[in-house]
Structures are given as C-alpha cells and as structure tokens.
Amino acid sequence: MAGKRPNILFVLTDQQRADTIGAGGNPYIHTPVMDRLCTEGVNFTRVYTPSPVCVSARAAIISGQYPHRNGCFDNGFPMAEDRPSMMDLLSASGYQTMGVGKMHFLPDSKSLRGFERRLTQEELRRRVADDDYLQFVHQEGFEHVHDVMGARGEMYYIPQVSQLPERLHATNWVAEQSLASLKGRDRSRPFFLWSSFIHPHPPFSPPTPWNKLYRGPLMPLPKRPDDMEDLWTYHNRHQNRYKYRDAGLDDNLLRVMRAYYWACVSYIDYNVG
C-alpha cells in the first residue's frame, strides 16, 4: 500500500567487531543469519561508532547527535533530558515502540526514554525488582546464581561457560521476549522493536553446548601491530586488573578468549534467526 509506514526491527549487539560476520570476510565464524542480512540487504563497511563506550554510544544512537553535541562522553555521564529520543519521535508519529534487553540509560536505568513498553536486562547486577531478566531467572529457580551474565571482577576477561542453562541465558531471553512482544503487539499500528543483546560484551560466557562450537587450539591469533613492544607498558597496566596477570596473556588464552567471544556472536545469530 502506497504511503504505508514500515515496521522497524532494530537488533543491536554490544561490542561485536565488524570482522565477526562471515559475509564480512571472516572465513571461520558461523553466522548464517547475519550473512543473509548482509547479502540480501545493505552491508556498510565504513561506519564507525561515535563513541567507544556503552552509555555514550547509546546516547548518540537515541539522540542522533555526536557526544560533543549531546554532552554524554563516557559511562559516568547522564544522558540529556532536554531533547527528544528517536523513540519519542516514533511514538509521536504513531508507532508502537517496544524495547527488550540492555539499554544502559543513565541516570535512570528504568527510564522509558520514549518507549511505550520496555523489558529491562541491564549489565550490572541490580535489585531483582528493578530488572525483568533477573526476575525471570529467579522465577525459574536460579536465584542462587549471583553473576547471571558471567563472573566479573578479576574474571572479567576470562573465558567461562554460563552458569545458566541455554533456555535461561540472557541472549535467549531477549529473543523470546522480542517474539512475545511482536505476537502481542497492536496490529492497528506500525511497530518499532529494539532488541538489544548484551553479548558479545564480556564476560565471554556462552551457554552449553555453544561453548564447544569453536576449538581454542584451532583459532587464529589476533593481529599484532609492528610496534607491539612499545605498547607493553599500557598492556601490562591493563592486564594487572584481571586474573590472567598471574600467568600472563599467552597465545593459548588468546585463542580460547576468541573462541568464546565468537561463540557468543554465533549464539546471537542463531537467536536472531
């Protein structure tokens, strides 16, 4: 129908590298759904985030402004309240706006920011009453699991298997709740659904059996810059924050880290499909 407004499904992953999609030139990773999106849609190869950190990047997305315009430069900065978000504009134009998953809105992590309906699943552990995903995990009898997204602290970058079964994993929850949102939507209006997956952001914690999808010893090592020796001061300072400082960051650990990181990407791909 001429003039009919399209439905919008906005799928967002967190800290996914551009080279972790098969259709983007990676011959090793398994991402059939993302490959199809790339080959049947438009694949941008020269697009760069306006900010390398979560809150600031998301503030840019919802405001349509660079950090120097919206005032949100880092994770500790609150998002501006004096300008409309893209969800505000879509809601005002008649869209049913729904959000599922990590949004990382500050200063109020429960804020709707223009959404009509939002199901929360934030990165850092909060009160169970403030997080829809935590409520779900507790209702399923796994309230004893403290780090539902994976162990943090010194273990933050250590590859680890999720403490939850696949059906309760954060990635699966976002997919299931997104489907439920679409099934229960108001069909008299176009929809905007933002499905926001927290992975492959660390901790790298795919569920069983996805942790076995890639074999660590067979993983390619990351490229090292020619001036790597000049970067050791920074590298050692950063490494000392995490558990692998005890044994150093060796090639075997790098391979397993990449295997689990890719497993998180492939698991998202499976759920998007």
d(CA 67, CA 58) in angstroms, rounded, equals 10
Q: Is the pLDDT of residue 2 over 60?
A: no
Going from N- to C-terminal start, the domains of the chain cover 8-48+84-272
Alpha carbon separation from 114 to 82, 142, 171 (Å, rounded): 13, 32, 24
CATH of region 8-48+84-272, choose from 3.40.720.10, 3.40.50.920, 1.50.10.10, 3.10.450.350: 3.40.720.10
pLDDT score for 107: 86
pLDDT score for 157: 84
d(CA 211, CA 262) in angstroms, rounded, equals 9
Segment 217-227 shows an average pLDDT of 86
Segment 179-205 shows an average pLDDT of 97
pLDDT bin (cut points 50, 70, 90) of residue 233 is low
pLDDT bin (cut points 50, 70, 90) of residue 238 is low
Segment 208-227 shows an average pLDDT of 91
Segment 3-32 shows an average pLDDT of 94
pLDDT bin (cut points 50, 70, 90) of residue 1 is very low
Segment 145-167 shows an average pLDDT of 91
Do residues 27 and 21 touch, judged by C-beta distance below 8 A?
Answer: no
pLDDT score for 84: 95
d(CA 195, CA 270) in angstroms, rounded, equals 14
Instruction: For the sheet with 96-101, list strands across it.
Output: 8-14, 191-200, 96-101, 117-120
Do residues 164 and 137 touch, judged by C-beta distance below 8 A?
Answer: yes
pLDDT score for 232: 63
Q: Is the pLDDT of residue 38 over 50?
A: yes
pLDDT score for 7: 98
d(CA 23, CA 33) in angstroms, rounded, equals 10
Q: Is the pLDDT of residue 12 over 70?
A: yes
Q: Is the pLDDT of residue 229 over 80?
A: no
Q: Is the pLDDT of residue 79 over 80?
A: yes
Helix (H) or strand (E) holding 62: helix 54-63
Average pLDDT, the chain: 90
Q: Is the pLDDT of residue 181 over 70?
A: yes
Q: What are phi and psi of 55, to 5 degrees?
A: -60, -45
pLDDT score for 262: 98
Segment 236-243 shows an average pLDDT of 60
Segment 66-91 shows an average pLDDT of 93
Q: Which residue has the tokens 């010194």?
A: 154
